[in-house]
Structure formats: structure tokens, C-alpha cells
Structure 1
Amino acid sequence: MNLTEPLQLTNATDAWGHPQAWGVQDGRLTRSARGRRLDLGGARLLPGFINAHDHLHLNGALPRLAYRSAYRNASEWIADITPRLQHDPQLLAHRARPRAERLWAGGLKNLLSGVTTVLHHDPREPVLASPGFPVRAPAPGGWSHSLALEGEAAVQASRRATPDGALWVIHAAEGCDAAAAAEGDRLQALGCIGPGTLLVHGLGLSAAQQEQVISAGAAVAWCPGSNLHLFGNTLDPTLLAAAGRLVLGSDSRISGGRDLLAELQLVQALTGWPDERLWRWVTEEAAQVLGLHDRGRLAPGLCADLVALPRGLPLAQATRADLRLVMVGGRVLVADADLGEPLGLVPVLLDGRRKTLAPDLLGHAEEPGLTLAAADSRCMA
């Protein structure tokens, strides 16, 4: 089968359980009914999730890392891990793999959790824009790593080189001490906080600093799993979330949880937010904050980036093995066996559950918990 051929998605429900059906043509959603029928068996159809922060090359089989009980700020964490890059066997083995393969592993991690768009916070590589890459990885208008690593002059130059209103991303206020909190004021003084600025982490921001972020039209990418692992604390999301200036990131596996679904479970435990609040947050609200106006909603003409959940399963209870289907640009890339096998997808086991995977995703990267289910015994874990 041509994975991009027109499809009719039938017997689906919307987020509230109402029946719906969609056509997929040329990678876009349409109301017209053409092509092969794909019966979703009452599954709940949502827009593909948007992960607002990850380092795609730091995933795969890497574990969470920390070298002391808790850090005060990101500079301490960087000082601990940097020398270990040269002698830690696990880190050396990971870095010995081609960078494109490591990036692919991060893309696959995200795809399997229903993420169809991810904001990669590192230099661009050609593989991120290749037609077969597992997820969309749009380039921001500009980015810096952090004040600590680059210094004020380089950060300010990067911000000034970014077109007005375009997305500009930087780690900021990543920590619990005065040094972390001061980064918000330093960026403000440098003229770096304005429309399009995305501050990653921000747990050191005071309420007053968060109000400044909101007033400036900037936003924060919240990575609670990473924050709690490294610092034993995370920000109070109330102000930023109420203003629509908060997005969710998984961060990489060396500090964050397994994937975006794990982060959503953590957020629900921390906030008590209801299901609708969660799924809107990682779809249409994230698209709006990040300036991705062609996705995040189910509407004719928008990208056919979709996730299907079993009907009645709250998002905060879902694991990647629960997802019935993940589609990017009209291509079914991951699906339950009953949906994927008729489309020519390859049988696999995902966390012990029978699934199928697009053939062109096989063999590019290893992913813990993912193995071939057919007679071919090659292992992807």
C-alpha cells in the first residue's frame, strides 16, 4: 500500500464521544469521503500532540542521570555531566552512534507516545527535515542554549537576529536558587523577552517575573519531570496556564520521563486538571503559542496529524501501548494490529502489546520496549 493514499476515517468519536468521520487527502484533513475506509471502532480521535521541548539526540536507551541528590541550578548539572561525556561508558557508547541515528531515536520516542510535532532545542541537522523522519520538527526562528553556556552578548545577538514575532527559544531560570531567578531579570534587561520568546523550564521565575513574561507576550515551556528529577521542585503553573502562556515539554530521557504521556500523567497528578484541559493544552493551545497554525485542531485543510485513543480512556491514564493509531501528514505510522496490518504496516510488540509500525521506520534506531513480532528476530530494544 502507498501510505499516503487517500483514506476515510470512519466510526470514530470526538473528544466528547460524539460520532465523527474524516477524510485524508494529500496529508490534509477533509470532509469528503474518498479512498480506503479505516474503521476506528469507536476510538476517540484527537489532533496529534505537540511536545514543546526535547533534545532529540539524548533519548533512546539512555537512563535518567544525576550525580548528586539535588541541584540548585542548571550550571551545577552541566558541570557534573560535561566531564563524564569523555569517560562514562554508557554516554560514550551513545555518542559513538551517528548523530542522525540518535536524532531518529528521539523522533521515534515521540511518535510512539502520540507526539506528531516536537520542538528540538539544538542545532539543526538535515535528517530533521527528511521526508521519512518520524515526526515534524519545525525550526524555530532562532535559539540559544542558555546564558550560562553562551554569555550575554551571544544570547542578545541571537535574539536580535530572530525576526520580529518569530519563535526564539532559550533555557532560562532552570533551578531553585537566586542565580536561576536572576536569569529572568538579565534576559529582560537584555531585551530578550518579548513576543515569540519561549523560556524553557522557568522554575526559578517569581510570580512577578511570570507576570512580566505574560505581559511581554512570551511563554514558558514547562518540563516538570526533568525539574523534579534534577531540582526536587518545579514551577507553579497557575499564572502562566491561566494566561495561555504555558506549553509542555518532555525534555530528553537523561532528565525527563519516558515520553510526553508520562509528563501528562505527572501534570494531572500535580494540578488535577481535567481531561479536556490536558488534551487542549498539548494540541490547539500549544500550536497557538508556538505559531503552528496548520495543526493542533481537527478542521478541513489542516495537517492530518492524528492520535486515536480507546473510547473512554482519559489522556492522563494513557500509555503509548494504549494508542490505537498515530498519523503524521496523512500517513499511518503506528497502529493496533487490526488497523495497521491491512495497510501494510509491520507487526511489532510495544511494551508487550501487539502493534504495527510503518516499514520505513524499522532499522533506523533502537527503542526500549519495541521489538519485531514477526519471524524476523531482529530486536529494536
Structure 2
Amino acid sequence: MQRRYTLLSIAVSAALAWHLLTPPDRAPVKPDPVARQPVVQAQPPALQKPVEMGSVTLPPPPAREAPAEKTVQPLPANDRVTDPAKPLTISPLVAAPVATTAATAATPPTAAPTAAPTAAPAAAPVAVPAAVPASNALRRVSPLMPLTAPGRTADAAVPDSSPPETSASDTTPSPARLSSAQAKAQGRPLLKLLEIGSGPNIEISWPADAATRARLYAVFSRCYGMRLALMDAAGDLFDNAGSGGQTLRLNTDKFSGFVRQSQGRASPSEATQIQSIRARHGLSAGRAVRLFPRETDALLLAGLYQLIGSSYTANRTIQARYRISDWRVEVGDIRSDGVAVNGTVDLSGAVTNRCRI
């Protein structure tokens, strides 16, 4: 029993010695998050002394070559650009002389044949039928036209050997009367076509009798707004309204783009006015031309179109004759490519001032 207590005390002593010699287990100490480590600023490395560089001289840059001049080749004749502000100068038309023999002088002109004329290029001048001698035909003056073409309209003064003019009261067909509104709707587009060189060649004869011709000139001047001017070789116009040497600038908004020149005998009033224009401007030469308002030509073309019909634009030549009764002017004896057309065109709708001559 004592031995048992001895072993127990030895075991207790050994346990106590082990406890004393062995340190107790401790929990790991956590670092304080608030505590901050001292900041150590990094010192920049000491700059080294730069190495001395030697100066280098570069050669000058090469000189720039001057650009080569380009040779401009002239445009072909058909590609050259013209100045649109400058008017196109065109030599006035010159009537070709017509050989006259004793036999033909004694024979009055006859009606044109009814057969259709042979085809010809549009730019070629159209032969004037025998009913209107070529030397007396009034033709459009080219310098005043935007696009020129051989005579598009014409007034003709037939010689006194032709039959006397028939008064308007002798005609049986009723006139083709057109108001100003109809003229604007139909005649003005037709006039535009003629001004650009399209449409038929129109020839209108003046009365054969000298007294009737003088009366027609007076009516056209006083009642229809017709004006007389002289055209020189350069195509410039002169009238009695301008000062000496001052050319006439035609207002194409009011006046037709067709200028009619007469090579027949002038009436006494027209001859006096021609001499006055020559004296005012010092003109020794020049041709007398007649200027008509646009409304007059619009009524004329609209009336012809109404009588001839849709074939108007396909015709080559339209011939007619002025007729006058008091202040009223009509166009009758109409022939389209030699074929007679019934009816007359009344121009009284273009009267600018009702008057009696």
C-alpha cells in the first residue's frame, strides 16, 4: 500500500515538473490595424553629370525645283467658249439680184404651183415663189435674233403691175378673230419658235396700189404701234427718238424679234421719215426696217395656226396679203406650201389706240 502511494507521488511530481518546464500555449497576437508603419521616402538617385556633346553642322537642304510650266493647248474651233454677254454679230442679209427681162417685166406674177416643194436642208434659204418677187420680199434681220436662220418672216411690197388689192368686205370667209388672251395662249409660243429658227417661212405682201400701201403704213404706225428704223452695215438700229449717233436698243419684251425690211417703193410718209433719220444720225447708207409689237405678231401667228391646223409647224412657206378697211387690218389670200387656205386673220385685236385715218 505504501508502495502504491509512493508511485502516485512520483507521478504527481513528474506532472508538476512537466507543467513548470513547459510554457503554456498562448493565442497569436494580431497586429494592430491602427498602428502605422513609418513612411520611408525614397531618395531620388543622384543625377549624373551630363556628358558634353559636340556641335554638329548639317548641310543646307537642296533647293526646290521650279514647277514646270504647262503648255495650254488651244481648244478646237467647235469647242471654244464664247462670252454670252457679248451679242453675236452677224452680217445682215443681202438680197440677191433677180434678173429681169422685158418679157417677165410685162407679165404680172402668177400664183405659185400647188405641187409640194422638194425637200431641202432646214438651214438653206427657201426659194421665194413667183407670187412674191425675191427682190421685194421682207426678211427677218438676223443681228436681232437670238438664234439666226434665213428669213423666217417677210412682208413684201408687190409692184404696181400686180392686180389691185381687194377690200376686206369682198371676202366671203369670216375672219379668224382672236382676242389678246387667245394670242398669248397660242401666238406667243409660236413666235418663240420662230425666234429660235423653227417654223415656216412667212411672207406677207403689201397692197399693190400706192395709195392703199401708204394708208396701210399710216394705220400700222398710228394704230398698231409699228416703228420705223434704219439698220447700218453692222446691224445697229437708229430711229428718230434717239439723239444723233445713238443706237436703238430694241426691247424684245414689247417688240417682236423679227425685223422686216422692205425693198419696195416707200410711201411718201415713210420716205420722209427715212430722210429724217439719216439726217439725225448722219447716215449715208442703211436699210429701212419696220418693227412690230409682239402682240401683233402673236395675233398673226395664232390666226394662221387656227386656219392651217396642226400641219402649221410642218409647212415650209406660208404666203398671204395685207388687207385694210378703215383702221382694220386683215391678212388674207393665204397659201400654205402653195395650197390655198380659206379664211382671213383679223389683226384689229392688236390695235394700241382706236383711231380713224
TM-score above 0.5: no
Q: Which has the higher strand share?
A: 1
Q: Which has the higher helix share?
A: 1
Output the TM-score relative to the length of structure 1: 0.24
Larger gyration radius, structure 1 or structure 2: 2
